[in-house]
């Protein structure tokens, strides 16, 4: 079988060396030395200053919203995303308003964002879809013009560069998912990158029940701390991540070469490079999606409709907006297998199966 995703596990000896340190110290959580080391090393690797590790990517969003006092009103986001994005907003009593996407980049369309701004809008929450950088300059201009915060859901944008620098430096904050299925993971984990140190320090209190340095609650907080065991996995992964990144990028390039002319690929920002986080293809119709999925399944290859459904059509979030481009793309997009130890032969097998289904 070729799975849609296969979590990468570093050499057990490498991971064990970090676990040995944990056992020697018996310091398991509460901002332990491995968490501190991973924060420092990740910030250096990613090229950011104010990075905070948390327990998962969804909590990263929630804590970021709470840090900026976003607890009521509306926030404009994309319907072409994972459920965590609008779910985190609703959890914080923020009403998501869905702005449509650009048909090529698949990212939120700035013009649609500005058209939705009202007196109750508090923030813009764009998503770097599949790691593809948003139009960060235009979104920043819109936010400044209307006095809004910008919090990027950058769950897929680990190691993504934009104009020679990390895309994670844009916005008032950007959040990462470090879940097991992501290209860099801590089994479970997340991170928040803040523009300002003051926001970082407030968030650090929020993830530890709101305690200040005197162990007195200065804010209404939550427990969102990363454990030492999860940080150990992150450190073991980071030791070898450059090789993982290069291989995934090469796999994605192989898909693009072998399926060129057969399917449509997401148009990547000209000022960035695909990080190989996902391998989405866009097909002519939903019927073609089903045909390709059936053909892949027949030879034991997994695929996934990602992102489907269009979240503007999901009533639970309370804003069933009209987003025709997102509605269309969500029905015609399919993610193919892509994982760290995938082979080029497997890419060829998948590609040939897709072409046969479309012939």
Q: What is the pLDDT of residues 22-44, one digit of tens each?
A: 999 999 999 999 999 999 999 99
pLDDT category at 318 given cuts 50, 70, 90 is: confident
Domains of the chain in start order, with CATH, are 12-238 (3.40.640.10), 241-358 (3.90.1150.10)
Mean pLDDT of the 49-58 span: 98
Cα(302)–Cα(326) distance, rounded to whole angstroms? 24
Give the mean pLDDT of the chain: 97
- Taking Cα atoms as reference points, which of 28, 85, 50 lies closest to residue 226? 28
Model pTM score: 0.97
**Residue 62: predicted pLDDT:** 98
- Reading the block at residue 238, the tokens are 């980071």
Cis before 256 (ω within 30): no
Give the SS3 label for residue 45. Answer: helix
Q: Any idea which residue has 């490079």 for tokens?
A: 273
Cα(131)–Cα(127) distance, rounded to whole angstroms? 8
| Cα-based distances in Å from 282 to 105, 173, 279 | 12, 30, 10
Q: Report how far Cα 281 is from the mean position of its chain's Cα atoms.
A: 18
User: Which residues lie across from 336 on neighbouring strands?
Assistant: 279
């Amino acid at each position: 079988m070729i799975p849609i995703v296969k979590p990468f596990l570093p050499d057990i000896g490498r991971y064990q060396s970090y676990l040995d340190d944990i056992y020697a110290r018996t310091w398991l959580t509460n901002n332990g030395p491995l968490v501190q080391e991973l924060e420092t090393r990740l910030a250096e690797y990613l090229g950011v200053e104010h990075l905070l590790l948390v327990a998962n990517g969804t909590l990263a969003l929630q804590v970021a919203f709470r840090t900026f006092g976003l607890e009521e009103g509306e926030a404009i986001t994309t319907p072409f995303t994972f459920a965590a994005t609008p779910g985190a907003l609703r959890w914080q009593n923020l009403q998501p308003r869905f702005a449509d996407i650009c048909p090529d980049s698949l990212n939120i369309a700035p013009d649609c964002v500005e058209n939705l701004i009202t007196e109750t809008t508090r923030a813009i929450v764009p998503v770097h879809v599949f790691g593809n950088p948003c139009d960060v300059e235009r979104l920043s201009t819109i936010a400044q013009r209307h006095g809004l915060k910008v919090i990027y859901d950058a769950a897929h944008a680990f190691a993504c560069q934009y104009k020679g620098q990390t895309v994670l430096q844009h916005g008032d904050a950007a959040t990462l998912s470090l879940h097991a299925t992501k290209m860099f993971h801590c089994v479970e984990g997340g991170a928040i990158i803040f523009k300002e140190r003051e926001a970082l320090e407030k968030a650090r209190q929020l993830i530890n029940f709101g305690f200040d340095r005197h162990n007195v609650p200065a804010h209404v907080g939550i427990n969102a701390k990363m454990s030492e065991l999860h940080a150990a996995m992150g450190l073991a992964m980071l030791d070898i991540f450059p090789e993982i990144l290069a291989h995934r990028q090469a796999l994605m390039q192989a898909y693009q070469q072998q399926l060129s002319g057969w399917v449509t690929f997401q148009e990547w920002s000209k000022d960035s490079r695909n990080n190989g986080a996902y391998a989405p293809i866009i097909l002519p119709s939903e019927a073609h999606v089903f045909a390709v999925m059936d053909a892949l399944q027949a030879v034991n290859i997994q695929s996934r409709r990602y992102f489907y459904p269009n979240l503007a059509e999901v009533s639970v979030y309370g804003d069933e907006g009209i987003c025709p481009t997102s509605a269309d793309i969500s029905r015609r997009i399919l993610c193919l297998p892509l994982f760290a130890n995938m082979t080029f032969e497997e890419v060829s097998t998948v590609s040939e199966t897709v072409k046969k289904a479309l012939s």
